[in-house]
Chains A and B, each alone.
Chain A
Amino acid sequence: AQKVTQAQTEISVVEKEDVTLDCVYETRDTTYYLFWYKQPPSGELVFLIRRNSFDEQNEISGRYSWNFQKSTSSFNFTITASQVVDSAVYFCALSEATSGTYKYIFGTGTRLKVLA
């Protein structure tokens, strides 16, 4: 069955530290998509990145980077030189082509607290 696991419930770091948020997924599909969203205190889910199952190339966007490894079914997210504004809940999500709807299956989220 499809599933997304974010084992880290809450992480606290001091500003400028690097932090990695883990995401492990389960799916039987060969075509699927993985996402990361940020949910700041305001509550709105903000899209960060999308990867498809055929593209394992890692990606870097400013201080953010993502490591997609199909061999371990993981899609981890690293924030370099964290800032207080990075404090939020981060969700990893899976979308499967065979669902027809491409509905998201979310992990339980990781709350990141960046302390000044």
Chain B
Amino acid sequence: GAGVSQSPSNKVTEKGKDVELRCDPISGHTALYWYRQSLGQGLEFLIYFQGNSAPDKSGLPSDRFSAERTGGSVSTLTIQRTQQEDSAVYLCASSLNSAGTQYFGPGTRLLVL
């Protein structure tokens, strides 16, 4: 079956612009995670969605970052007023339930000029 998909695969933007990153989880997976992979910080958790529960936003680095998950499926990560330090690979993962193994998408490579 189809894995986790993410779009765009690459995004180049100018400092100060807003960007939206999309994640399509594996069908039937109720848990969805966003992570960020950067040279300085490694792989770090950003946000978690599980069903209709309130998301865990504890990993979001600033209030410029937000995410939503519509209809329990597709998720969008939005970064407002992008900064150069936001440049990283943003990875999405989904799991069958919160305790399940997470399967990762190919990531979106974001470059902020």
Contact = CB atoms under 8 A, between A and B. Distances in A.
A41 interface: no
A37 B107 CA distance: 15
B65 interface: no
Interface in A48-106: 50, 91, 95, 97, 100-106
Given A44-B107, A45-B91, A103 B48 contact: yes
A43 B89 contact: yes
Interface of B: prevailing SS: strand
A100 B89 contact: no
Interface string A21-60: 0000000000001010100001111110010000000000
Given A45-B91, A109-B42, A104 B102 contact: yes
Contacts of B93: 45
B42 A106 contact: yes
A47 B101 contact: yes
B106 A42 contact: yes
Given A100-B56, A102-B99, A104-B35, A44 B106 contact: yes
A20 interface: no
A50 B89 contact: no
A106 B43 contact: yes
B28 interface: no
A35 B91 contact: no
B45 A104 contact: yes
Contacts of A108: 42
Contacts of A91: 43
Contacts of A47: 101-104
Contact of A103 (B45, B91, B103, B104): B45
Q: Which of B95, B100, B104 has the most chain A CB within a 10 Å cutoff?
A: B104
B87 interface: no
Interface in B13-38: 31, 33, 35
6 smallest CB-CB distances across A and B, nearest first, come from A45-B104, A106-B43, A101-B48, A103-B45, A44-B106, A101-B56
